[in-house]
Structure 1
Amino acid sequence: MTMYLREARSGRNCDTRPDQAALAAALLTALCVSATLPTTAHAQTGPYPNRPIKMIVPVAPGGGADAVARMVADKMSQSLGKTIVVENKAGGSGSIASIEVARAEPDGYTLVQCYVATHSTNPAVLKLSYDPIADFAPVGMMGKTSNVLVVSSDSTAKTLQDFISLARAKPGVLNFSSAGAGSATHLIMEYLENQAKVDLTHIPYKGAAPAMQDLLAGRVDAMFPSLTTALPHIKSGKLRALAVASEARDPAAPEVPTVAEQGFPGFSAIQWWGLCAPAKTPAPVVATLNKALNDALGQPAIQARFVEMAAEPTPISPAQFGAFLKEEAGKWSKLVKDTNLKVD
């Protein structure tokens, strides 16, 4: 075969069989094509980004996390010059979306809206197929807000102590909805159960939106959602806020006392949203995304919208966000261990 190739390259006429000549020609063509591939691939790479980016949101459409993601993605798209396509992928308290992004190509074109469930509470109580620290490159934080204990306006519970008294009088009868097993909306209520020594029945949903819908419809008794999700319904009078889980009262609802000031000192938990890429995403790509994110958060229109949503925009660097993720994971793991919280 080598002889036929050499003769074909030299251009000499050879007495070869037709099939051997065709084979030689085919091999030469393959060599020529393969020689051009590096140049073609290099030409397709170009500056980042040169095509649309996918941001996977690990909850169902309609909740606070989804609203924040879409708002930020829109402004980031304008800054980057390429569309960020938001794709909702609920399930497993955010683990399904997180696993997909953890296994994605680390090229900056597949991102996840990481948040308190996927990178703080889930790892503390669930066996996951991803490592919230090792499998991701932190890009930056979108924002944060308080969690708030809410009941229907028809509930007889007017205060946190009323709610606890009802729960103690009827162990296991009162129930609560959550965005999923292991989510912040679940674990914060478990934390309260542990501290107040009450027994509530947990009803998990695929995201905060459907969990809130059933609370509004009267099919469940209580929920501990983000203030971003609950505030419109509190203002409309459909829900009653009993307590916020943050260390201090929230400026968006200053009339609502904290859990800590109602007999549970030290009780503190917040809801937060961020942006993560797969581990090993190149640092320049992460830096580009971080700048676009922080530029978006600095826009007056975004800041005004965050205030309306009872949230606080939080522009920080990838390094700062990475340190925050490690601190959060450690805090929730310690809390679960110290309080012996069990999640079925």
Structure 2
Amino acid sequence: MILSSRLLVTLFLGLFLLLPSLASAQNFPAKPIKLIVPFSAGGPNDIIARVVGQRMSELCGQPVLIDNRGGQGGVLGTDAVAKSPPDGYTIAITSAGALAISASMEKVAYDTLTDLTPVTLVAIVPEMLVVAANVPAKDAGELIALARAQPGKLNFASTGAGSLPHLAGELFKLTARIDIVHVPYRGAAPAVNDLLGQQVQMAFLDLPALLPQVKTGALRPIAVGSAERAPTAPDVPTTAEAGFPDLRIENWYGMVAPKGTPKEIIAALHGLVTKAMADPAVKEKLSQQGATLIGDEPEHFRQFIADETKKWAKVIKDAGVETAK
């Protein structure tokens, strides 16, 4: 009888402590949500966040305020989320670089899987391999043959050292066993400009950044790094079709919250964002940007981040990429 009484008291206390968070989750959101985008306005990360955030706002009846905090390849804005109160009112949609690559390249102030709480993988955007108009190669086989005939003579552009486009090029070098030289830029726009100016010969970049120039014929597409052909570029083969099934290269963007955010709030955020992503208008707008919406469960996203971290850490090691750690 004494044991039963103690058990009842324990259960009562547990329920009493749980009630505030349950009530908070039921009322969530009760004020505006700040959605940090760790890049400047206009890029793929920003576009995805604005389209999804607008629909979230319509669904929940509270403003979802976009806060662009660029710097250090997405690290600074992501770190701002890690240091925010764990109440669900400061979150981010951030990138593969900030969540799964940067920690292998440099010292960062946060650990993705301990200082942040994954909410969901929002979208995947394939990387496209293109060549400048003066490069004679028409497909992957011809490009590799050209690179092997001129070791160290062909350059590939990226959006910066340690960025996904950089590591995509390094993985291409390893997979195809070729010697090409990395040329880092501060973003996609200057990289594309020098591709158009034929200062560099090739690049892996987010498909949306290349699509306008590919459609006009100013840049020649070689392959996309997705499992299936991109609907916005259906004539471009996948890297697997080009003979490289292990050259799967996709950028991705996911929602995270600060460590310690209550599970009930994470569940509320997950329900809100996945409902927004399921909207046909949202799907249509983002498919035009080459993005595929995902919307997985938090634990699945956590494992996805862990797997991607291991994948790119191995590429960095195997390619001998110089790091700042």
**TMscore range, shorter length:** 0.7 to 0.9
Q: 2:165 aligns to what?
A: 185
Q: TM-score, normalised by structure 2?
A: 0.82
RMSD: 2.6
4+ long deviations beyond 4 Å: none
Q: Distance in 1 between matches of 2:64 and 2:306?
A: 27
Residue 211 of structure 1 aligns to which amino acid in structure 2? A
The answer to whether the 8 Å contact 2:167/2:315 transfers is no
Residue 144 of structure 1 aligns to which amino acid in structure 2? I
Q: 1:130 aligns to what?
A: 110
Identity within the alignment, %: 37
Q: 1:343 aligns to what?
A: 322
Q: 2:218 aligns to what?
A: 238
* Residues 278 and 217 of structure 1: CA distance in aligned 2, closer, same or farther (over 3 Å): farther
Q: Does 1:299 align with 2:282?
A: no
* Residues 193 and 133 of structure 1: CA distance in aligned 2, closer, same or farther (over 3 Å): same
Q: 1:285 aligns to what?
A: 265
Greater C-alpha radius of gyration: 1
1:291-330 counterparts in 2 under 5 A? Answer: 291-330=271-310
For the residue of structure 1 that corresponds to 2:156, the secondary structure is strand
Q: Distance in 1 between matches of 2:141 and 2:187?
A: 28
Counting matched residue pairs gives 300
CA offset at residue 170 of structure 1? 4.0
Q: Distance in 2 between matches of 1:55 and 1:277?
A: 10
Q: 1:174 aligns to what?
A: 154
CA offset at residue 226 of structure 1? 1.9
Gaps of 5+ in 2: 1-24
Cα deviation 1:243-275 (Å, max 9, x = unaligned): 112244334323222333334342222221111
Q: Does 1:99 align with 2:89?
A: no
For the residue of structure 1 that corresponds to 2:235, the secondary structure is coil
Q: Distance in 2 between matches of 1:213 and 1:252?
A: 22
1:46-65 counterparts in 2 under 5 A? Answer: 47-65=27-45
Q: Distance in 2 between matches of 1:205 and 1:187?
A: 14
Q: Distance in 2 between matches of 1:62 and 1:153?
A: 26
CA offset at residue 114 of structure 1? 2.3
Bigger shift: 316-325 or 69-78? 316-325
For the residue of structure 2 that corresponds to 1:65, the secondary structure is helix
Bigger shift: 50-59 or 164-173? 164-173
Q: Distance in 2 between matches of 1:341 and 1:261?
A: 28
Gaps of 5+ in 1: 1-44
The answer to whether the 8 Å contact 1:60/1:206 transfers is no
Bigger shift: 317-326 or 120-129? 120-129
Q: Distance in 2 between matches of 1:169 and 1:59?
A: 39
* Residues 208 and 107 of structure 1: CA distance in aligned 2, closer, same or farther (over 3 Å): farther
Question: Residue 225 of structure 1: which of 180, 185, 205 is its match?
Answer: 205
Q: TM-score, normalised by structure 1?
A: 0.78
The answer to whether the 8 Å contact 2:170/2:319 transfers is no
CA offset at residue 313 of structure 1? 1.2
